[in-house]
Amino acid sequence: MALARERLRDTDDGLAMIAHTLGYASEFSSQTFKRHHDIAPGRWCATARGIA
């Protein structure tokens, strides 16, 4: 999940692409990301990039 978080911040790749490149058999959901990080991936990405 830490790598997914970094890739959301540092790339324009979507969640499905990130999941695939990290070796997940199927796309992990935004709920899984939120459960691990207490924030939805889209919101985290915007905050990390200084957009929100």
> What three-state secondary structure class fits 47?
helix
What's the token pair of residue 6? 């970094």
pLDDT number for residue 25: 61
pLDDT number for residue 10: 93
Domains, in order of start, for the chain:
2-48 (1.10.10.60)
pLDDT tens-digit readout, 1-52: 788 889 988 999 988 888 888 887 665 677 788 888 899 888 988 898 887 6
Separation CA 46–CA 52 (nearest Å) = 5
pLDDT number for residue 33: 82
pLDDT number for residue 4: 84
